[in-house]
Structure 1
């Protein structure tokens, strides 16, 4: 009976929540229909297709980590049902991923066709005369035959250079076309078409008998392709190495800021470079700390009380019941009194905040000491067991049951689990580490004979976002919002946003100033002086 009542209560609550979400989404759709005249300038940077999205409920696993794993050392699994809106959102994400796959496949197909056309053109120039009019060709000679070796090695060098520059896995899916790469592809296509047109008119049509000139014509094409590859290296790689802009990246929730130097890039490529540095340099986002700060502010504001000394208005309190008719009639003077009381309460609340932070630091130091002692004792026990096994092997006795590093980690983990859980809660890192990841790291340290300090470093010193990524590769869908065109270059004063599920990165660009330096000549004689001595002085 209790189970049935609990289940029915949960279903009613879920139905009410779904109705509430449906009402909110219908209002959002109504608002979006009322703003048809506005232009949406947001574009999306998507991850590689097939990877799960960070923050996407449809891509996360069904295992939920219990917050009390230090006491129970168990994991709880939960089942949840998807509403109609969730299914529609997942279907939209699948459509977006299919669109990205189609665009990426079409780009790869065009690049493959262009590459095959480029690398087959010089051999075709050399082979067609032998296939169409071999009896009319004049002898090539020794110098002409040496050009075959030149063409072969140049084609090999060009193939390796193209593989090194273009055949690299993409690190981001850009929302718009890469203009410089598209211009280079068009330039290569125009060059090959011009050579084919000249070859068809001057050689195929007239059936030229000078085979040496045909070979030199093919050599000139390969040289032109090598020069275009050099141009691609300059435009795509060397041009962005020289820093021209200083970008300030600020996380919207906690205000964490980093500064980076970038070269002359487009806005979308600058956004990709910022995101690459974000995963390596920014600390992991901690929503627990932000929620605690908001709750502390709300608690301070909830305790405000305002008393009317003049008697013009009734006394008001922030703790009073809502819907009071007397509070509805307050005037501007009452509002000013509320603001003044809030200011006085803020000045008096800094004392409380100071003691709260001091108490928190004391608690963190205490729990850190307990954690260090527990980990050192566990590692000492492992070391003693290993020494006993080595002694038994030396005495040629039958060793006991040997354990692999995984089993050893599971054996000593309960002795340190409670201290580690309390420390992670105190430092608000419990959302970054699960029981499974901690045991994997512990087994890794045991396998490689690492010290207790090496094991604790991952928890005593928080790392960047990349350390806490799932499966070793962080995947997230970022939305780029910019007033300027994302294919345009960076300029002084450019501001754009990179929005994720829980926060945004605000990027502001400043151009590095031009340094004007002048020289001023210093006469060496200006440093000399004359010391005049007088007989009356003691010098």
Structure 2
């Protein structure tokens, strides 16, 4: 019994890990079964009662050509529309996809039912009618394909809602226009744009300077009032401490202002030193052209590949780069290996020092920092409404991670009442207004 429970848990775990592939696999199997069904309708009479079939002739050959081209179009469109690897694992089923799969299964099952009752059981001899029956199934599948294209790809293209996405920690926000989507599909759409539009989340930039935090933490001493003559002294000291603490709190905004100004000055100073160091480092290398290599060959030690050249010029700028990243609190996102790799890329493609510094002078999008693993992209969708519900006015849902969350507010786009006013081109006439005090 224990071994059976272990096997069951193992199977459930495998099913959970392969959940992202279950939908495409099921859709592929059902689509393949639907594509092979018309061919089976044509082959079964030829295999079971071929001698008793009536000759079809030229009309059947035309139907064969039509059936072949329709199946080819259906196969290509099904591959382009359905057989795509999923980019996200949704918590619930995609309603429209499930509806289409149920519709395909219902059509194919109904055709098989009538085929068994009208063709297989009485062994229908009219082969032209059988071919027409198979062609009608392919036509029905093509219409379902058109319906799938409208529901899955066309319906959400027209903008209908405005999504305001706010990061809860630093308040970074973006606005997006989307069409008619469910909550879970809108969440996937938001995450797609989050990794490319939002700046990287840096928790080190959220805290106030330590000097201000240490000054704001003002404790109060407690005195034991054992004698009556010491009561007045202790009360006066307590009042003085409370007044001093209140004065420090009143001046905390001034201290924060000067701390921010000092930080900006330090950043500008480190940035200037880094730019100068990188400019000087890039002057120490030169790309060796083919004609130069043929006319005046260099010593083998003087010729370097891009990796060696990047390591050679990184040393003069390493200290300035380290101080700048530490000042701007970007050192967790840029290791020495990543900087050398980026420097090698810039050298290989003849990029300027400004192109090399672009990654470090301003925080880039989240997609630029690929240090996250699969679990780092694990999000939790929190919504008061079912996640399969459509977007509506006032709907709010959030996408949470361990350290922050994205709060999404849905607002419908307004209806515009556009009027028209005709202006006669002949009305564009002007006169000169002359005044006595002017020079005209």
TM-score category (smaller protein) = 0.7 to 0.9
Distance 1:425 1:115 in 2: 56
Q: Deviations over 1:25-66 (max 9, x none)?
A: xxxxxxxxxxxxxxxxxxxxxxxxxxxxxxxxxxxxxxxxxx
Q: Secondary structure at the match of 2:283?
A: helix
The match for 1:249 among 165, 168, 174 is 165
Q: Deviations over 1:374-409 (max 9, x none)?
A: 1111111112xx469975641356544532211221
Q: Kindly state the Cα deviation for residue 475 of structure 1 after the two structures are TM-superposed.
A: 4.9
Aligned to 1:354: 257
C-alpha RMSD of the superposition: 3.1
Distance 1:396 1:522 in 2: 76
Q: Kindly state the Cα deviation for residue 256 of structure 1 after the two structures are TM-superposed.
A: 0.5
Q: Deviations over 1:333-354 (max 9, x none)?
A: xxxx999987765543332222
Aligned to 1:408: 309
Aligned to 2:219: 319
Q: Greater shift after overlay, 509-518 or 407-416?
A: 509-518
Q: How does 1:115-126 map to 2 (within 5 A)?
A: 115-126=31-42
Distance 1:296 1:245, change over 3 A: farther
Distance 1:528 1:404 in 2: 69
Distance 1:338 1:283 in 2: 43
The match for 1:456 among 352, 357, 365 is 357
* 8 Å CA contact 1:466, 1:472 repeated in 2: no
TM-score (norm 2): 0.84
* 8 Å CA contact 2:220, 2:241 repeated in 1: no
Distance 1:254 1:96 in 2: 40
The match for 1:376 among 279, 287, 312 is 279
Aligned to 2:198: 282
* Higher relative contact order (CA closer than 8 Å, sequence separation 6+): 1
Distance 1:96 1:132 in 2: 43
Q: How does 1:477-488 map to 2 (within 5 A)?
A: 477-488=378-389
Aligned to 1:299: 214
Question: Which segments of 5 or more consecutive residues in structure 2 lack a partner in the other structure?
Answer: 1-9, 226-239, 432-440
Distance 1:98 1:145 in 2: 49
* 8 Å CA contact 2:104, 2:144 repeated in 1: yes
Number of aligned positions between the proteins? 407
TM-score (norm 1): 0.69
Q: Deviations over 1:468-503 (max 9, x none)?
A: 123898951101111110011111011111101210
Distance 2:398 2:23 in 1: 27
The match for 2:78 among 130, 149, 162 is 162
Distance 1:467 1:366 in 2: 26
* 8 Å CA contact 1:240, 1:263 repeated in 2: yes
Aligned to 1:205: 121
Q: Secondary structure at the match of 1:136?
A: coil
Q: Deviations over 1:188-234 (max 9, x none)?
A: 00000111111111111221111111111111111110110111010
Question: Which segments of 5 or more consecutive residues in structure 1 lack a partner in the other structure?
Answer: 1-93, 303-317, 327-336, 532-539
The match for 1:171 among 87, 91, 95 is 87
